[in-house]
Amino acid sequence: MSNRGKLYGIGVGPGDPELITLKALKALAKTNIVAFHQAEGKKSNALTIAECWIKRHQQLLPFVYPTTTEILSPHENYEFILADFYEKISKELRYYLDNGKTIAILAEGDPLFYSSFMYIYNRIGNEYETEVIPGITSVSASASALGVPLCYRNQTFTVLSGVLDQLTLEKRLAVGEAFAIIKLGRNLDKVRTAIYNAGLIKRALYIERATMASERIISLCAAATESSPYFSLVLIPGISWN
């Protein structure tokens, strides 16, 4: 048992490499293997954020997503493909951990907030010594970059996925006072319509790649209709108090 490795889930934050915590840096420095998710043929976002903190002697371990869209037919395949993917990753990680390797899994933003790390954590987190180090979310980063307080006093703050259908979005935008809408991608047109129908379009702010060098703040109306980058979101801040 004592020769088994430790698993870290490390939040690398939203994009600016300096928006990583000291605790994350200290943990990262202790690891033999640095793992991260990436799309086929693309560089990992988490690796891009954290690579300036990774040393030459650390082994890089990419997990290449078998698919990056949920739009498959039949729909059930997505869940099966992903479950299989995470089972294979878990098996590989068990091998390294059993052989005494200490492993960091990098997560953009926060590891327990809409992250792929959670699926690995749920599979092997109880089998090995595991530590999760929280990170700055894209929601907090976007508020700072846009310069807007998110929510005041006793306001309700709600995070919605742009993948939800328009009617559900509209219904959920009718409850509460402040919102962030993530996972825009090809859903931007639908999201914009839902916000308009909910009477919130004048308060909605749009941002791409908050805190990254390529950060872009444009009006929600000016944002491309076809598709938004992965790192984009809409904030609807609460109405200011006092």
Binding residues for a second copy, rule: CB under 8 A, are 11, 13-14, 16, 18-23, 25-26, 79, 82-83, 86, 110-115, 118-119, 121-122, 125, 130, 132-137, 140-141, 143-144, 147-161, 163-164, 171-172, 175-176, 183, 240-242
CB of 119 to a second copy, least distance (A): 6
The alpha carbon dihedral of 95, 100, 106, 110 has a sign of: positive
Nearer to a second copy, 96 or 121 (CB): 121
Torsion of CA 27, 29, 30, 32, to 10 degrees: 120
Looking at residue 109, the DSSP 8-state letter turns out to be B
CB of 37 to a second copy, least distance (A): 14
CB of 45 to a second copy, least distance (A): 18
Whole-number Å distance between alpha carbons of 157 and 63: 33
Nearer to a second copy, 73 or 126 (CB): 126
Nearer to a second copy, 16 or 92 (CB): 16
Nearer to a second copy, 104 or 221 (CB): 104
CB of 130 to a second copy, least distance (A): 8
Nearer to a second copy, 127 or 176 (CB): 176
| HSE-CB of 110 using CA atoms within 13 angstroms | 11
Is the peptide bond prior to 134 cis by the omega test (within 30 degrees of 0)?
Answer: no
CB of 159 to a second copy, least distance (A): 4
235 membership: H or E segment, kind and range = strand 232-236
Whole-number Å distance between alpha carbons of 8 and 180: 28
Whole-number Å distance between alpha carbons of 103 and 32: 6
Nearer to a second copy, 72 or 83 (CB): 83
CB of 101 to a second copy, least distance (A): 21
Whole-number Å distance between alpha carbons of 142 and 140: 5
Nearer to a second copy, 23 or 59 (CB): 23
Using CA atoms, how far residue 242 sits from 153, 168, 177, 206, in Å, is: 10, 32, 16, 25
Find tokens 């990992």 and name the residue: 44
CB of 177 to a second copy, least distance (A): 10
Q: DSSP string of 200-230? A: -GGG-EEEESTTSTT-EEE-TTTS-SS---S
